[in-house]
Amino acid sequence: MSKTTILLCGPPVSAIGGGPTHIKNMLAAPLNDRYRLVHFETGSRGRESPAKDERLFPMIFRIVTSPFALAWQILRLRPAVVHLNSAMNHKAFWRDLFYLLVSKLFGCKVVFQLHGGSLEELCAKPGMRRIVRKVFSMPDALVLLAKSERRDFKHIGITDGLLIIPNAVDVTLYGGANETEHNGMVCRMAFMGRLIRAKGMFEAMEAVRLLRTEKQFQNIELWIAGSGPAEDEIESWIHVNAMERGIKLVGTVYGKEKIDFLRGADIFVFPTFHTEGLPYVILESLAAGTPVIATKVGGIPDVVVDRVHGILIEAKNPQNIVDAVHELAQSEDRLRAMSKNCRAWAEQELGLEKLATRFGELYERVQA
């Protein structure tokens, strides 16, 4: 018996970012046991997502021809469902509207999944709220990452077809023989992500500077992994504040190196005030068993239970990070328990098997 075809539309898996990671996870998930997943590349081409290094003329050619290429793939493959992966920003909205219209024109069932962005900003221009409401009522299912996003959609009058399906990680990569118990100490903090101010790394660095003035934390370190436009500014801040011994820039990490980076940290700190969906780095930290200090942004509160998997804080205040470190350092047993809670939660709710089950049920529902 042949498998049902799902046309999975999203960014190239060769790029870096949350969107490409999601596509890779979908293709690697047990969904392939039940469905024939075919990846149709959308969006910019480059090392990052969205790309900063795509050349102008190839980009224009791609934009003009891509909807026609999708139409051809639909005619050729006859997919049961077209699964569009998008985001709540103007560029993605208008680009993916054409894919949505093509899919509906050919009578396809459409699952439209949104990965981060701000609905408020998308609707800010005059007349956009009505357009957004009309467009997002067209898919057969609208998949969001966070409960806060569902509240935002209901606020503008979109209630039908909304589902919450969080991102997932391959938790099996974080277990096995190398899994170790948390040492119960707070000596090394870690940050990982794109190096832009809105991710909160400057607040994290200032928190470490304050902590190192205290005898208990005079040797605490912050290791920062990632790359981005703020890298030079970070290096300058480290030099001006004489924090070379307290803050380490390790560059971008991948694969086993990334897993070891997260496991080697006592606490993962992510004080973002960016318009997040559900950052993969939070899921990866939970899978690694590293308790989290993070802000109440996007879908983070959906997966990090305060005082169970770490501590949730308000953004843009280094003292909040300092206070959270003080609290976590009070009890070695509590920190070890949090670490075990992180691993157990990731294995139970955030693995690829759970992702496959959720989308498998959704695909069956929209076809019924």
Task: Record the tokens describing residue 111, joined without a space.
Answer: 């699952």
The stretch 191-198 carries a mean pLDDT of: 96
pTM metric for this prediction: 0.91
* Rounded Cα distance, 208 and 221, in Å: 7
Phi, psi of 191 (to 5 degrees): -130, 140
Looking at the structure, tell me whether residues 228 and 261 fall in a common domain: yes
Q: pLDDT averaged over the chain?
A: 93
Looking at the structure, tell me whether residues 336 and 215 fall in a common domain: yes
Looking at the structure, tell me whether residues 118 and 137 fall in a common domain: yes
- Confidence check: pLDDT of 177 > 60: no
Looking at the structure, tell me whether residues 287 and 259 fall in a common domain: yes
Amino acid at 7: L
Q: Is 338 helix (H, G, I), strand (E, B) or coil?
A: helix
Mind listing the pLDDT tens digit for each residue in 267-313?
Answer: 999 999 998 999 999 999 999 999 999 999 999 999 999 999 999 99
* Rounded Cα distance, 28 and 36, in Å: 12
Mind listing the pLDDT tens digit for each residue in 102-145?
Answer: 999 999 999 999 998 999 999 999 999 999 999 999 999 999 99
* Strands of the chain, DSSP E: 4-10, 35-41, 81-88, 109-117, 141-144, 162-164, 188-192, 221-225, 247-251, 267-270, 292-295, 310-313
Looking at the structure, tell me whether residues 86 and 149 fall in a common domain: yes
Looking at the structure, tell me whether residues 247 and 138 fall in a common domain: no
Q: How confident is the model at residue 185 (pLDDT cuts 50, 70, 90)?
A: confident
**Domain range for residue 33?**
4-168+351-367
Looking at the structure, tell me whether residues 139 and 94 fall in a common domain: yes
- Among residues 300, 288, 299, the alpha carbon closest in space to that of 338 is found at 288
Peptide bond into 139 cis (omega under 30): no
* Rounded Cα distance, 155 and 112, in Å: 19
Contact 331, 337 (CB under 8 A): no
How many structural domains comprise the chain?
2
The stretch 345-353 carries a mean pLDDT of: 96
CATH number at residue 125: 3.40.50.2000
